[in-house]
Amino acid sequence: MFEAAEVGRKLEKDVYKSQVPILRAELLDAQQQLLNAPFPVIVLFAGVDAAGKSETASLLNEWMDPHWIVTRGYTDPSSEELERPRLWRYWRDLPPKGRIALFLSAWYSSPIRNRVARRITNPEFDMLLDEVAAFERALTDDGAIILKFWMHLGKAAQKRRFKAWEKDPLQRWRVGHDSWRHWRMFDKFVAAADRAIRRTSTEQAPWQIVEGEDERYRSVAVGTALRDAIRRGLARVPASHPKAPRKPARPGKGLGPALERLERDFNVLDRLDMTQRLDSARLDEALERQQGRLNLLQRKAQEKGISTILVFEGWDAAGKGGAIRRITGALDARDYQVIAISAPTDEEKARHYLWRFWRHLSRAGRITIFDRSWYGRVLVERVEGFAAEDEYRRGYGEINHFEEQLAFHGILIVKFWIHITKDEQLRRFRDRKRTEYKRWKITPEDWRNRNRWNDYTLAVNEMVARTSTRVAPWTLVEGNDKNFARIKVLKTLADRMEKRLKKS
C-alpha cells in the first residue's frame, strides 16, 4: 500500500513558485465560501515521523485565514479525559459548521501505537478502528467533510532525513529522543497503519497517502486535495439552503394503514398496567428506604469511580421533574448534575446533534441526570419534522453507538420513560392551570403535543424497540400514580447500581 508513496515524487521549484499563488487564492476562496456553508471540514494528519505532518498543518494555516482554522495536536490524555470515553476529547474539539479543523495525532494515534507496542491484539485493534469508523460515519452523515492524510516516508528516506538534520547544528533539535526508537520499529508501525487504513478508508472519509519526502510536492498535494474536497462539499449543498422547514415525517410512513393501526394498537405502552398505585401511608417509609439505599450506593460508586447516566423521557406532565427530585434529594449536591435539555445554543447548533450531550459527560463517580436527552432526535424531532426521515432513522444507530461507548467505559446507563394515560394528562393539565405556582408549567406547546399523541406513541414504541439494548435498557414507568412512579424509579436505579457495583 505504501510502495506508491516511496517513489521519490518531486515538484520543481519553478513550477511550485508559479502554481502556489494560484492554489492559495483558490484555497482562500474556498475557505471564504465555506464560512457560510452548513458543514465543517475535518482534516486528519497521521503518518511517519519527519514526513511533514506538523509542517503541513502550519503551512495550511499560513496559506489560508487562520482565524477560521482550529489546529489541535494530542498528547497523553489528562485525568479528566481518562475519566470519560476515549473519543470525548475529540468530540469536545469538533469545529462548528463553516470552519476547518486540522487534527494531529488524533483518534488513530493511540490505537496504532498500542498495536505497535503489542499492548492490544489485532481483534482489539479492529474494535477500536470500528469505533472510529462509526464516529467518522456519524460526522459525515451529518454533512462533515473528513480528509485523512497519511504522510509517508520510506524507511531509508526517513533515515536520510534524520541524518541530515543531525549534521546541521541548526536543525539538530528536530531529531528527538524518540526519533531513532520509532525508526527501528518502522516495519511494525507500517503494518499497523496498513491495517488501520484498510479498515477505515470509506467512501465518505477516505485516506490519502501522501509521499512526504519533498516538501513542495506534499504541500501542493495536500492543499489541492483540501481545495477540491471543500469545492465538492460546496457543490453538494442544495441551492435552497438555508433549508426550508421540512414536512413532518409522519411516523409509520410507508406502512399501509392497516399495519400502522396494528403498530399503534400493539405497542409497549399499552401493555403497561396503569392501575398500579402505592398507598400514601406506605410512601414515606418506601421513600426513605430507597433514598437511603441510593445514598449508600452512590457513595460506593463515587469511591470506585463508577459514573451513572440517567435519562428521563416521558409525556408532558408525566412527572419527570418530581421523580428527579426524589433522586437528587438523596444525594449530595456535589455528586450529581441535572442537565435540563432545552433549545440548543448556537455553538451547539453548529455541530453534530450529539455534541451537546458529549460535552455534559461528567467526571468519574458522578451521577448525571438528563431531563430529556438525545432521544429528542427520535421523538420530538421525528414527530415535528425537525429531523428528516433519514436523519432520525440514522439516529437509532448513532444513539446505540454513543451508549455503547459509555457502557464500554464502565458507565451505568439507566433510562426511564415515564408513562401516563391521555386522560390522566388532561387532568394534570387542568390542575396546573388552576394552581398559581404550577401555571408556568403549562404552555400552548403542551396542548399541541397532546394532539399528536398517536404519532408520539408510535415514535416511543419504535424508540424502545430499537434502543432498549442490553447495555442500556429502557424502563417503562407506570406514572398515573406519582407515588408509585417515584418509588419504581428510585428502586430501579438502586437495583441497577447495586448490580453494577457487584460486577466491579
384, three cell numbers = 415535528
Burial of 37 (0-12, 13-18, 19+ CB in 10 A): buried
Q: Which of 19, 33, 61, 179 binds a second copy (CB under 8 A)?
A: 61
Task: Identify which of 381, 385, 390 has the alpha carbon closest to the alpha carbon of residue 143.
Answer: 390
Q: Of 3, 13, 14, 21, which one interacts with a second copy (CB under 8 A)?
A: 21
Alpha helices, DSSP H only, in 35-154?
Answer: 53-63, 79-82, 88-93, 109-116, 122-141
- The reply on whether position 19 binds a second copy by CB under 8 A is no
The amino acid sitting at 206 is: P
Residue 310 and residue 414 in contact, taking contact as beta carbons nearer than 8 Å: yes
Binding mask 337-356 for a second copy (x = CB under 8 A): xx-x-x--xxx---------
Please identify, using beta-carbon distances, which residue of 262 and 340 lies nearer to a second copy: 340
Helix (H) or strand (E) holding 381: helix 380-383
Beta-bridge partner residues of 418: 314, 477
Interacting span for a second copy (CB under 8 A) from 67-75, 125-133, 232-240, 259-267: 67-75
Q: Which stretch binds a second copy (CB under 8 A): 164-172, 181-189, 375-383, 396-404?
A: 164-172
The cell 453534530 sits on which residue? 352
Residue 224, interface with a second copy (CB under 8 A)? no
Stretch that binds a second copy, among 130-138, 150-158, 336-344, 403-411 (CB under 8 A): 336-344
| Shortest Å distance, C-beta 53 to a second copy | 8
Question: Which residues in 471-500 contact a second copy (CB under 8 A)?
Answer: none
Among residues 3, 13, 14, 78, which is the contact residue for a second copy, using CB under 8 A?
78
As a whole number of angstroms, the distance between CA 26 and CA 45 comes to: 21
Say how many C-beta atoms besides its own lie within 10 A of residue 172's C-beta.
10
102-141 residues in contact with a second copy (CB under 8 A) are: 104-105
Range in contact with a second copy (rule: CB under 8 A) among 52-60, 226-234, 267-275, 462-470: 52-60
DSSP result, 194-226 = HHHHHHH--SSS-EEEEE-SSHHHHHHHHHHHH
Residue with grid cell 499492548, as numbered in its chain: 119
Q: Does 325 bind a second copy (CB under 8 A)?
A: yes
Say how far apart CA 182 and CA 60 lie, in whole Å: 26
Q: Is 334 in the site for a second copy (CB under 8 A)?
A: yes
Task: Check: CB of residue 211 under 8 Å from CB of residue 217.
Answer: yes
**Contact with a second copy (CB under 8 A): which of 437, 444, 451, 502?**
437
User: Is residue 423 at the binding interface for a second copy, with CB under 8 A as the rule?
Assistant: no
CB of 10 to a second copy, least distance (A): 22
| Identity of the amino acid at 382 | R
Helices and strands: H and E segment counts in the chain: 21, 10
Nearer to a second copy, 9 or 92 (CB): 92
Backbone angles phi, psi at 399, to 5 degrees: -70, -45
Q: What whole-number distance in Å separates Cα of residue 399 and Cα of residue 466?
A: 10
* Binding window for a second copy (CB under 8 A); candidates: 184-192, 324-332, 375-383, 483-491: 324-332
Kindly tell me which of 55 and 389 has the beta carbon lying closer to a second copy: 55
Contact 158/236 with Cβ under 8 angstroms? Answer: no
Nearer to a second copy, 322 or 385 (CB): 322
Least separation in angstroms between CB 229 and a second copy:
19
Does position 246 interact with a second copy (CB under 8 A)? The reply is: no
Q: Are residues 109 and 46 in contact, defined by beta-carbon separation less than 8 angstroms?
A: yes
Q: Does 171 bind a second copy (CB under 8 A)?
A: yes
Q: Does 37 bind a second copy (CB under 8 A)?
A: no
Is residue 25 part of the contact set for a second copy (CB under 8 A)?
yes
Cβ neighbours of residue 304 closer than 8 Å, sequence gap 6 or more: 365, 501, 504
User: 278-307 mask for a second copy (x: CB under 8 A)?
Assistant: -------x--xx--x--xx-----------
For residue 248, the cross-strand partners are none
The residue ranges that bind a second copy (CB under 8 A) are: 21-22, 24-25, 28, 32, 53-55, 57-58, 61-63, 65-67, 71-75, 78-81, 83, 104-105, 170-174, 285, 288-289, 292, 295-296, 321, 325, 328-329, 332-335, 337-338, 340, 342, 345-347, 363, 371, 435-437, 439-441
